[in-house]
Amino acid sequence: MPHYHTLGTIPHKRHTQFRKPDGTLYSEQLFSTEGFSNDYSILYHCHPPTQIIRTDPPVSVMPEIAEEKMLQHRSFEGFKIPPADDYLESRKAILVNNDCHVVLAAPRKGTTGYFFKNTDADELIFVHEGSGVVLTQYGKLPFSYGDYILLPRGTIYQIEFASTDNRLFIVESFSPIRYPKRYLSKYGQLLEHSPFCERDIRPPQDLVTIDESGDFLIKAKKKGILYGLHYGHHPFDVVGWDGCCYPFIFSIHDFEPITGRVHQPPPVHQTFEAHNFVVCSFVPRLYDYHPEAIPAPYNHSNIDSDELLYYVDGDFMSRKNVTRGMITLHPAGIPHGPHPGAVEKSIGKKETGELAVMVDTFHPLQLTKTALEIENQGYTMSWAE
């Protein structure tokens, strides 16, 4: 999905001899999330990336499903997820289906003493609070408030935070996360009407080659099981790489909103797409400029998708009692719209400062046990107030 990028030292041609100063060969690795039929990168290691020296007993991290089927509007207080020291232990699945898992996390620390690899899912990490750096084989990815960190499945990484106050909204996608097709030319360039362009994409930087032997633990997740794989060499022993499959960052603050004379439908906010779901960004923007425009969103049927909205910051004129980190879930099958009084209140307003991330899934989401623990009771009846 990203444009071609390269860091470090690479040979003139692929799959040819590339030797170290001592005359031995570097080890070439092709990295792709869809076999040999789509975007890929080629990395050059000091040592083969295959040398496992021991393994740990596997541990289940499968989310515990509390409700598989339901048809009512729900709301959850995301900031009630308690902080945890360890990055992986802090991650709590809230809403899940076979296409994606929606996860909240409040880690005080990063991946201390280990590396992480999600072998099943691309990870889209939205940084609500905190800053730091993601360390990868491709280089460093410094991040801060409002950043989407996109990590293709199989990316080995560590994450370090600048402080202990961190809040993350994470989407694990079991299909590749891509730019929306309608934003792309037939050659893959982001088109002029796209709300962002290649200049907004921040690829890895500062590639550091760590040529060390020892015992390096990679915690790899596959099918809900966490495996401890110990390697004999540091996984960040890459001297160079190139290609189009690599982690990157895009800031929600660089999303340019599309506006019109009358209220625009949610697809104008689309930022990413995957199989059976999309991700949208609601950002500060001018309201509609027709003289009789109603800025509040109209009621809509929601007949073919579950709509999940994660509230980040700002004032949401269509909802009452919104808190930072709140999640609303409006399932497919019943219409939803502004709370009572919101339509009249919105008339005459010139702009909004709201910031939110939306995930629309085309298969129903299931609620986990953790979701029920942070649920706002009575939200379903809030339209009657």
On the question of pLDDT at 324 being above 90, the answer is yes
Radius of gyration for the alpha carbons in the chain, expressed in angstroms and rounded: 22
**Taking phi first (over 0 means left), then psi (-120 to 50 degrees means alpha), and beta for anything else, what does residue 124 get?**
beta
Task: Give Cβ neighbours of residue 78 (< 8 Å, ≥ 6 apart).
Answer: 94, 104, 167, 169, 310, 325, 326, 327, 374
Q: What is the mean pLDDT of the chain?
A: 94
According to the model, what pLDDT value does residue 158 have? Answer: 98
On the question of pLDDT at 370 being above 90, the answer is yes
* Two structure tokens written together for 211: 């040529």
- Mean pLDDT of all residues in 178-205: 95
Nearest alpha-carbon partner for 33 in 214, 268, 274, 217? 274
The three-point CA angle 273-280-148 to 5° equals 85
Task: Please write the tens of the pLDDT for every residue from 39-72.
Answer: 999 999 999 999 999 999 999 999 999 999 999 9
Winning range, highest mean pLDDT, from 96-110, 317-331, 334-348: 96-110
- Among 73-82, 93-102, 135-144, 348-357, the least confident range: 348-357
* Two structure tokens written together for 231: 């390697």
Task: Please write the tens of the pLDDT for every residue from 284-321.
Answer: 999 898 999 888 888 888 888 999 999 999 877 667 67
Looking at residue 208, its amino acid is V
- Mean pLDDT of all residues in 181-203: 94
Q: Which residue has the higher pLDDT, 340 or 271?
A: 271
Number of helices followed by number of strands (H, E) in the chain: 3, 27
According to the model, what pLDDT value does residue 36 have? Answer: 87
Winning range, highest mean pLDDT, from 119-133, 312-326, 345-359: 119-133
- Mean pLDDT of all residues in 77-99: 97
According to the model, what pLDDT value does residue 317 have? Answer: 65
* Two structure tokens written together for 156: 């080995």
| The CATH fold of domain 255-376 | Jelly Rolls (2.60.120)
